[in-house]
Amino acid sequence: MPRCIFCGEESEKLSSEHVFPAVLGGKLELENASCTTCNNGFSGVEFALREPFAGMRTYIKSGEGQPRATLFLNAEYAHACYQGPHMHSIVLVGRRDKRRVDAIVRLFGGLFFLVNLADNHEGADFYKTFLYDAQKGEEKQILFLHEQSEFLQIEHVITSKDSIWNDRVKSGQFFVKFLDNAIQAQLKAEQGNQQAAQPS
């Protein structure tokens, strides 16, 4: 049975909750996230002001404390979850057993950051993937073969010996090659379309 992300209580009837409050322009929502009691008694602002997110708030406001975003490169993850250079995504995962809320932020399809949002999470497990197509200006849906693949992605990145952390040179080389491959594929597709359009 699903659990409320605020209080952790099980409930068959959970409502959607904004990741960032709607009053602040937030449009991204977690489905089946909050019970009736918490939905009526809390807001997204109150959730973000709770103790588990104190470290993140301090770092955002003052730059003090432990950095929360870490550049990483994991080629297996990059190829298993391919996105084009016009795509940006966030994989958001709250794990009660690890007491963490983490996100994988992917920019332009080929730059990867692991962001620790909280390291003393006591609410229920939750997960959501947001994919934004900058070329079309719209949020996209992602089909996963495993219903909890977000958990698996985060765990793989964190624990894999193949993850390379904070290496700007290797990440930059990967990104440049990624962009070059995408450009070459686009040029090849356009040439094929031109040849197909020519009268025979």
pLDDT band for position 48 (cuts 50, 70, 90): low
What is the pTM assigned to this prediction? Answer: 0.68
Domain range for 1 is: 1-49
Within a domain: 62:
no
Q: How many domains does the chain have?
A: 2
CA gap 47, 67 in Å, rounded: 21
What pLDDT is attached to residue 18?
Answer: 63
pLDDT band for position 122 (cuts 50, 70, 90): confident
Residues 190 and 96 in one domain: yes
Residues 107 and 19 in one domain: no
* Over residues 99-121, mean pLDDT: 89
pLDDT over 70 percentage in the chain: 76
Within a domain: 56:
no
Sign (positive or negative) of CA dihedral 119, 121, 122, 128 = negative
**pLDDT at position 147 over 80:** no
Residues 40 and 102 in one domain: no
Residues 34 and 123 in one domain: no
Residues 106 and 181 in one domain: yes
Residues 134 and 83 in one domain: yes
Provide the β-strand partners of residue 91: 104, 129
**pLDDT at position 44 over 50:** no
**pLDDT at position 31 over 90:** no
* Over residues 57-72, mean pLDDT: 76
Residues 179 and 92 in one domain: yes
Assess contact for 111 and 171: CB atoms under 8 A. Answer: yes
Lowest mean pLDDT among 12-26, 78-92, 94-108, 177-191: 12-26
Within a domain: 3:
yes
What pLDDT is attached to residue 177?
Answer: 94
CA gap 106, 146 in Å, rounded: 20
The distance in angstroms from the start CA to the end CA of the chain is 62
What pLDDT is attached to residue 157?
Answer: 93
**pLDDT at position 146 over 60:** no
Lowest mean pLDDT among 54-63, 131-140, 151-160: 54-63
**pLDDT at position 170 over 90:** yes
Assess contact for 113 and 104: CB atoms under 8 A. Answer: yes
Within a domain: 200:
no
Burial class of residue 101, CB neighbours in 10 A (0-12, 13-18, 19+): buried
pLDDT band for position 163 (cuts 50, 70, 90): very high
Residues 80 and 137 in one domain: yes
Residues 21 and 95 in one domain: no
What pLDDT is attached to residue 9?
Answer: 75
Within a domain: 61:
no
Residue in 74, 86, 75, 118 with CA at minimum distance from that of residue 99: 118
**C-alpha pair distances (Å), 23 with each of 18, 26, 30, 45, 191:** 10, 7, 16, 10, 47
Residues 91 and 184 in one domain: yes
Residues 124 and 43 in one domain: no
Within a domain: 57:
no
Sign (positive or negative) of CA dihedral 4, 7, 13, 18 = negative
CA gap 181, 156 in Å, rounded: 25
Residues 110 and 170 in one domain: yes
